[in-house]
Amino acid sequence: MIAHLSGTLLTKAPQSVIIDNGGIGYEVTVPLSTFYALPEKDGRVSLHIYTHVREDALMLFGFYTPLEKEIFTMLISVSGIGPKLATNILSGIGPEELLAAMARGDTARMQSIPGIGKKTSERIALELRERAMKLKGTLEPLPSQVLPPEEKGMLDDAASALLNLGYSAKSARDAVERARSRLETFNLQSLIKEALRVLA
């Protein structure tokens, strides 16, 4: 089983990347939380890998942090949640915020994630709340854990806008974070404008 993969980033897209390692290109499915942290094309990358084996396929799922991988493995242990849905869940909410929602048993917050309905959110809360509480207790508090959902969504939208303008995911994310720290109050438009000033 492949548990870790380092190499050169040949191609990247919001749903998958190809990493060259020793002349072999490995296609890896990634959540948006990992995509935003990737370097530019041809940069060096190192991902934590979950290898999913089926009768007709072998798929690699990659994560920038051990926390993302840990949450992913927790999610796929829940009945009805496969690797693709678990990846989509991590794409719809930051790992720290998701872990906090799981630890609280916050089914309403989880239902706001695309692909998660009432029954699935209830299963996650029932089966993973205790594990999530234990995992959350081992982590240092992070600012993103206390961001209101509206503000986090605005940051993600601003980063997406910069991506559409041709900036790399890492540059876009860093610029948005710096712009947010400079502004006392902001909306999406002012956040994007300030991020563009940062990039300039």
Nearest alpha carbon to residue 99 among 73, 64, 61 = 73
Residue 120 CB neighbour total at 10 angstroms: 21
Q: CATH fold of 4-63, please?
A: OB fold (Dihydrolipoamide Acetyltransferase, E2P) (2.40.50)
Q: Which CATH class is domain 66-142?
A: mainly alpha
Task: State the Cα–Cα distance between residues 175 and 193, nearest whole angstrom.
Answer: 10
Tell me the pLDDT tens digit for each residue of 50-109.
999 988 889 999 999 899 999 999 999 999 999 999 999 998 888 888 888 899 899 998
Q: Count Cβ atoms within 10 A of the Cβ of residue 169 and give its class: 0-12 exposed, 13-18 middle, 19 or more buried.
A: buried
The predicted model gives 4-19 an average pLDDT of 94
Domain ranges in the chain are 4-63, 66-142, 147-199
Name the residue with higher pLDDT: 197 or 73: 73
Considering the domain 147-199, what is its CATH architecture?
Orthogonal Bundle (1.10)
The predicted model gives 147-152 an average pLDDT of 65
Name the pTM for this structure.
Answer: 0.68
User: Binning pLDDT at 50, 70 and 90, where does residue 144 land?
Assistant: very low
With a cut of 50, say whether residue 143 has pLDDT above it: no
Q: At which residue do the structure tokens 């994560």 appear?
A: 63
